[in-house]
Structure 1
């Protein structure tokens, strides 16, 4: 190994080989590319889109199982839409959102945690199938880091809209999933061409399905609509890969979203278990 190789690193933004002593990457302009922060596992650690999708699905499934364990589930076998439904007590302890948790309990962090809670077996299955399908498209056209940002911020925005609309108690990954759908709508319309038109047409079918599904009682249409609008706006702000590659800002902001999610879910689980055991 040459002396130059021993003192070289891959730029944390563009992955080009550069000297560790460079004050700024000569290829992409990232400042201090050799710093420890810009090379730690948070910036490099979830660059694979499939891995991120599997992680989010796994976390959703784990939280759902915990809601069933905290209190005896309602089987509801006569109504498959309510089969294996966690109790409202479990959902409240683990971070359901709405005017009840926020206005009466000051649990603002539930705007994020509610994206990882589900009200029945079919609820989580449908949402995770949709997330798997649309999430794969999003990381291909926007990138893995922007997928994390879109899912997190659109979910929070969707639930903020539903809170402002007076929805009392709500859960589900659908606000975040609708954000991904909104970003895909923006991509298809903005890109145009054969592929862009195909994406726009396909995703428009998802929007129609969400609208029809929203005619059923108990569906949080405010969260769905807020998520879609937030996804469109974020798709425009973040831009897709053909407009610009993912930069250090995207990677660091995605890391912030991931850390915030981990801390909030850890708090929800820890406090939920404490109150359940203490009660």
Structure 2
């Protein structure tokens, strides 16, 4: 086959716009995934939407029309950043609690594998059954700079991702990524080394954003450059739990891929089944490390 024939066949393989079938296009609506041509593209917070979905979102569609969905199958919300706002609010509120109560509160809920606590006169940690630390450590921070950078990153990258995935899927991604970062830290870090911060979950959002941008055929260079910069900081600065960053990133890529590439007919099963499998791995890692320490 010569190049001209191959080019013609590639062009013929492109679908036609659902409103203008004679116009071939490689762009799809991020809500209903129908092909749309440049004339029908309406810019959205993530990608482009078709005129029908925009009318539905504005409440002007016929009553019988189906409710618009995000690219991952989630429900399109009136406030696409609500969960991101709540997550930022919870992190800030707990940071204020940390500042007002002192180290006692932080030591009770930070991630630590196993350590002697002089104030309590006992050995405490995840190895002693305090598995809640895998979760609570995700909402604690060690300094004003620490929480400032994490919350700016969460707001900047979390909002568009929440709009693309929908609230429930976005929260599932956030918590699974954060728990994966905590589990890898528990496995690889020294057991008496404390760790805390939302970085594992945020790196998961970075990974999922890269997958989403690839899915939408966006320019990958900005997100890759930002990710590389963050990884350089991860491995060059002292007192950074690189294990949490890598664990969150890997989980974010895996879950993010399932979210945006799951076949429509089995979308929910694939998406939440993947989250469940990652959680099983997290539990396995935690059990393995606990056996090693006890």
Q: TM-score range by the shorter chain?
A: 0.5 to 0.7
CA apart distance, 1:237: 1.9
Match of 1:61 among 81, 92, 108: 92
Q: Which of 190, 212, 227 is the equivalent residue of 1:207?
A: 227
Listed as ranges, the gaps of 5+ residues in structure 1 are 1-15, 19-26, 29-42, 72-86, 254-279
Instruction: Give SS of 2:142's match.
Output: coil
* TM value normalised by structure 1: 0.61
- TM-superposed deviation, 1:109: 1.4
Specify whether residues 129 and 106 from structure 1 end up closer, same or farther in structure 2 by C-alpha distance, changes over 3 A only: same
Query: Matches of residues 1-279 of structure 1 in structure 2 within 5 Å?
Result: 48-71=79-102, 87=103, 89-93=104-108, 95-100=109-114, 102-167=125-190, 168-192=193-217, 195=218, 198=219, 200-214=220-234, 215-239=236-260, 244=264
Aligned to 1:5: none
Aligned to 1:33: none
CA contact (8 A) 1:98 1:166 kept: no
Give the aligned partner of residue 256 of structure 1: none
Max radius of gyration: which structure?
A: 2
Structure-2 separation of matches of 1:103 and 1:247:
35
What is the CA distance between 1:104 and its match in structure 2? 4.3
1:177-201, Cα deviation, whole Å (9 max, x unpaired): 0000011112223432xx2xx2x22
Change (3 A) 1:239 1:122: same
Shift of 1:62: 0.5
The SS at the match of 1:98 is coil
Unaligned runs of 5+ in 2: 1-61, 68-73, 115-123, 274-294
| Displacement after TM superposition at 1:236 (Å) | 1.5
Compared CA separation, residues 205 and 187, structure 1 to 2 (3 A)? same
Counterpart contact for 1:146–1:250, Cα < 8 Å: no
Structure ranking higher in helix proportion: 1
The alpha carbon displacement at 1:144 in A equals: 2.3
SS in 2 for 1:239: helix
Cα separation, 1, equivalents of 2:261 and 2:94: 31
Deviation of 1:246 after TM superposition, in Å, equals 11
Q: CA RMSD in A?
A: 3.5
Cα distance change, pair 99–47 in 1 and its aligned pair in 2 (3 A): farther
Classify 1:158/1:69 alpha carbon distance in 2 versus 1 (closer, same or farther; 3 Å).
Answer: same
Q: Which has the higher contact order (CA 8 A, sep 6+)?
A: 1
d(CA) in 2 for partners of 1:99, 1:150: 24
User: Secondary structure at the residue paired with 1:69?
Assistant: helix
| C-alpha contact 2:177 2:204 (8 A) present in aligned 1 | yes
- Report SS of the residue matched to 2:81: helix
Aligned to 2:119: none
Q: Does structure 1 conserve the Cα–Cα contact (< 8 Å) formed by 2:134 and 2:179?
A: yes
Asked if the contact 2:177/2:200 (under 8 Å) is kept, the reply is yes
